[in-house]
Amino acid sequence: MFLTPGDLEALWLTARLAGCVTLILLVLGTPIAWWLARSEAWWKGPVTAVVALPLVLPPSVLGFYLLLAMGPQGVVGQLTQALGIASLPFTFGGLVVASVCYSLPFMVQPLQTAFESLGERPLEVAATLRASPLDAFFSVAIPLARPGFITAMVLTFAHTVGEFGVVLMIGGNLPGITRVASVQIYDHVEALDYLQAHRLAAVMLLFSFVALLVLYTWRRPQKMGGMT
Amino acid sequence: MSVLLLSLSLPAHAEKITIAAAADLKFALDEMIAAFPLNPSTDEVAVTYGSSGKFFTQIQQGAPFDLYFSADIALPRTLAKNGFAASDVTPYAVGRLVLWSAHRDAAKMTLASLTDPQITRIAIANPQHAPYGQRAEEALRAADVWPQIAPKLVYGENIAQAAQFVQTGNAQVGLIALSLALSPPLASQGGYWLIPDTLHQPLEQGFIITRRAANSALAHRFADYLRTPSARAVLARYGFALPGEAVVK
C-alpha cells in the first residue's frame, strides 16, 4: 500500500478539520469582512490589526497562549469547564478553535477586498428598488462577491491543511483526533522513516499545488465575466 | 577595514562550539556549561535542546553541531558507524523515568493509580521516536495498565513537551525524565514516583564529537570535562546514574 492506514487516517482528519474550520469561518468571517469593508468607526483600525495578527505571529505564540488559556487554570478552560465540557487541548474541538484563530485572516481579507471593490452603487440601486439591506446583501452583494468567497474558502481550507506549529503545541499527537497530516509527516521524519514521509509529503505537495492551480485558473474567467 | 582589524586583534585560539542535546539534559547540561572553565572573552559554548531523533537527522544532513548528546545511545552509534563521528561513542549517563504531577502528590502514586477515573489525561513523550516515550510504553505494558490507560495518553514531541503538558495542568500526570522532575521549575511542584527500572530497558545515553569538530580543541576539552568529578556530580544531582556505577533505586 502506498500510504499506511495511519497516513490515511491523518489525511481524513486533516480534511475534516479544514472543512469544519472553513464553514465556521465562512459564518464568522463574512460579517466581520462586511463590517470592515463599510465601517468608518475609529476602531476599524484596531479590529483590522487583530484580524491580521495570525499572519505575523509565530504559531508557537498562538500555541503557547492557547495551551495556557484552554488549560484548567486558563480563561477559556474555566469557561468550558463551567459549561460541562472537558478542557479543549488534545481534542478535535480544541484543534477547530485553534485553527479558526489561526486561519481567520485567510477568510476575512479576501472577502473584505471583494466587498470593498463592489462600491456603493449596486447597493444603492438595490435600495431604490426597495430591497431591504439584508435582501440587498444576500441577493446583490454576495453574488457579486462570489470570486472573493471562492478565494477566501480555498485559502482558508488550504492554510488549515498546512497548519503545523499550533497543532503540535496543543494537539498531543493523538491518532484520529489531533494527529493531522503535517504532524504525521513530522513523526515519520523523527522516526527516521523517510520513505513514508516522502509519500505523505508528496500527497500534500500535490494537494497544495492543485488547490492553488484551481484558484488561479478559476479566478481569471470570473473576473472577466464580472466586467462584461 | 575596521572589521578586518577587529578579527586580526582576536587571539588565534578563539573558538565556538555548538552542542545538540536531548531535552532531558536541559537543566543539567546548562549547569555543566556554566561551570565549564573557558575563556569567556574568546570561547563560547552554545547549546540547542530537542529530540534526539531530530538531531540525528540534522547531523546527517550536515547541521553545524560539534557535539551530539542523545538520550538513546543507539543513535550516536549509528552516526559513528556511518562516519559522522570524530570520537568513540561515549556513554555519559543512564536516565530514569518518573511519574510526575504538578498538582497532586505523585510520590503517593504508582502506575496502577493511573487507572483512576479521576485521571483523564496522561502525558508521555512520543514512543514512535522519543527514547523516554519508548521506555514509558514498556513500563506501562510491563505494569499491565497499558490497555486501560492507552485512551488517556497524550504525546509530547519530546520529554520536555510531555512535562509542559503536565505543568500547565492539561494532563494531570505524566511519565517524564527524573532530570526534569528534579529541575528548578518543576521540583517545587507536585512530587514524583520513581518507576522501577526493572519495568523497562535502560535509558542508556551517549554522546559523540561530530566529524566537523574533529580538529576542535574546545570540543575535545568539553568532552574531557564531562569525565571530571564536578561534571559527574551535576549529572548525579539531576538523578542520572553514571556509567560504571550502580543505578539509583
Check residue A221 and give its pLDDT.
Answer: 56
Check residue A226 and give its pLDDT.
Answer: 41
Residue (of B103, B21, B99, B87) closest to B58 by Cα position: B21
Question: What number does CATH give the domain B97-199?
Answer: 3.40.190.10
Check residue B246 and give its pLDDT.
Answer: 53
What ipTM did this prediction achieve?
0.80
pTM for this prediction: 0.85
The residue among B51, B157, B159 with the most chain A CBs within 10 A of its CB, best to mutate, is: B157
Q: Which region among A85-89, A150-154, B85-89, B197-201 has the lowest average model confidence (pLDDT)?
A: A85-89
Q: What percent of chain B has pLDDT over 70?
A: 93
Please answer yes or no on whether B129 and A187 come within 8 Å at the CB atom: yes
User: How many C-beta atoms surround the C-beta of residue A8 within 10 A?
Assistant: 16
State how far the Cα of B140 lies from the Cα of A134, in Å rounded to an integer. Answer: 60
Mean pLDDT of A81-88: 85
- Cβ atoms of B157 and B126 within 8 Å: the answer is yes
Point out which residues pair with B68 in neighbouring strands: B20, B208
Burial (Cβ within 10 Å: 0-12, 13-18, ≥19) of residue A150: middle
- Domain boundaries in chain A? 5-38+58-218
Grid look-up 568532552 returns B223
State how far the Cα of A150 lies from the Cα of A161, in Å rounded to an integer. Answer: 17
The CATH fold assigned to B16-94+203-238 is D-Maltodextrin-Binding Protein; domain 2 (3.40.190)
Mean pLDDT of A161-166: 92
**A residues 152-181 closer than 8 Å to B (CB):** 168-169, 172-174
Chain B CB contacts of A172 under 8 Å are 121, 123, 154-156, 165, 171
Q: Write the pLDDT tens digit of every residue in A54-69.
A: 999 999 999 999 999 9
User: With an 8 Å Cβ cutoff, is A192 touching chain B?
Assistant: yes
In CATH terms, is domain A5-38+58-218 a member of 1.10.3720.10? yes
Q: How, if at all, do strands B153-156 and B203-209 pair?
A: unpaired
Q: How, if at all, do strands B16-22 and B44-50 pair?
A: parallel
User: With an 8 Å Cβ cutoff, is B57 touching chain A?
Assistant: yes
Measured in residues, chain B has a length of 249
Please answer yes or no on whether A173 and B155 come within 8 Å at the CB atom: yes
DSSP per-residue codes, A63-79:
HHHHHHHHSTTSHHHHH
Check residue A132 and give its pLDDT.
Answer: 87
Q: What is the mean pLDDT of chain A?
A: 90
DSSP letter assigned to residue B197: G
Q: What is the mean pLDDT of chain B?
A: 90
Mean pLDDT of B63-92: 96
Helix A5-38, helix A181-190: angle, nearest 10: 130
Q: Which of A172, A190, A192 minimises the CB distance to B165?
A: A172
Mean pLDDT of A127-149: 89
User: How many C-beta atoms surround the C-beta of residue B22 within 10 A?
Assistant: 32
Grid look-up 479544514 returns A18
Residue type, A78: Q
Chain A CB contacts of B154 under 8 Å are 90, 172-174
Grid look-up 440587498 returns A136
CATH 3.40.190.10 location in chain B: 16-94+203-238, 97-199
